[in-house]
Amino acid sequence: MTEQLPSVSVIVPTVGRPELLRAAVDSIRAQQYAGAVEIVVVTDADAATLSLPDPEEPHRRVVVLSNSRRNGAAGARNTGLLAATGDLVALCDDDDEWLPGKLAAQVAALEAAPDAIGIGSGYELRRGSQTHLRRPEYGRLTHATLLRTRAFDVHPSTLVFRRERLLAGPGLFDEHVPGSYGEDYDWLLRITRTETVLTMPDPLVRVLSHPGSYFANQWPIIAAAIEYLLAKHPDFATEARGRARLFGRLAFAYAAMGQRRPALRWAARAVASDPRQRRSYVALAVSAGLPARVAVKLAAATGRGL
């Protein structure tokens, strides 16, 4: 039966979180999927420093590689994508865990839709003792949806793609995105411009939000990456709501850095594009003296980030 199912390579970039990494790898090994699964762990450090015992099951092979490209998540993912041998490729961050039925459900859905290049799903977002369910209610992740909303209800760790078609078409992650912040968003924008990506509402991944998250409060990197994204994708000019979302995010980033003038400028542009953009008003409050950490904490408590 294993030979009849597509093989899957799972790319796991890691940044020195061994306990979380082991939990992520164990969750992939434990998949209720009869096909072969190759787990490709990629680190910016020396691969020899990672200790991940290979399981006895031959259809759950673990490969540990050093990032051979630019340091960061984009380079690590590209290293894994190029080394992968599976018919399908999937992503899993080192601080996330797959639920047992993930691969079986998604591979079956993808096999039933030969026109689609890939598929994502919903997920459980864990913040401390709280769990927020994110369920995409649309059956297809479109370019227009991504321009408008960012589609946070489809996390990178839920994605599965046809490998050869991906590499022959949309290709690799952009390693020039500052800090690799939002490189997955840029990647999906490029993929959905020409390809069909399906979604299923089932929460199939457990995503952990924690103080060790790499981009927590990295406002200079966040601001630089958003400006890079806006310059790279001029089609944001066609979508006022999505443009306002990025402008508002920029306004908050600059306000959090204490740079009041650019914060006010981006907030004004966000309001002009879409007066409903809440980040603009939060940025104004931070510019007026509200501590950025308080604003971030309040947003997190509602399950909505800034």
Dihedral through CA 269, CA 274, CA 280, CA 284, nearest 10?
70
Tens digit of each residue's pLDDT (9 = 90 or more) over 117-129:
999 999 999 888 8
Q: How far is residue 198's CA from residue 110's CA, in Å, rounded to a whole number?
A: 8
Which residues are within 8 A (CB) of 204 and not within 5 positions of it... i.e. 6 or more apart?
98, 99, 101, 102, 105, 106, 121, 122, 123, 158
Tens digit of each residue's pLDDT (9 = 90 or more) over 273-293:
988 887 777 777 777 666 666
User: Is the per-residue pLDDT at 260 higher than 90?
Assistant: no
Residue range(s) in the chain whose domain bears CATH number 3.90.550.10: 2-209
- Copy the structure tokens of residue 225: 């990456």
Tens digit of each residue's pLDDT (9 = 90 or more) over 206-258:
998 765 455 556 899 999 999 999 999 999 999 999 999 999 888 888 888 88
CA torsion through residues 132, 123, 146, 94, sign:
positive
Angle at 101 between CA 99 and CA 102, to 5 degrees: 70
Tens digit of each residue's pLDDT (9 = 90 or more) over 5-58:
999 999 999 988 888 999 999 999 999 999 999 999 999 887 777 777 666 677
pLDDT of residue 1: 44
User: Is the per-residue pLDDT at 302 higher than 50?
Assistant: no
Q: How far is residue 115's CA from residue 240's CA, in Å, rounded to a whole number?
A: 30
CATH class of 2-209: alpha beta
pTM, two decimals, is 0.89
Dihedral through CA 61, CA 187, CA 306, CA 275, nearest 10?
-160
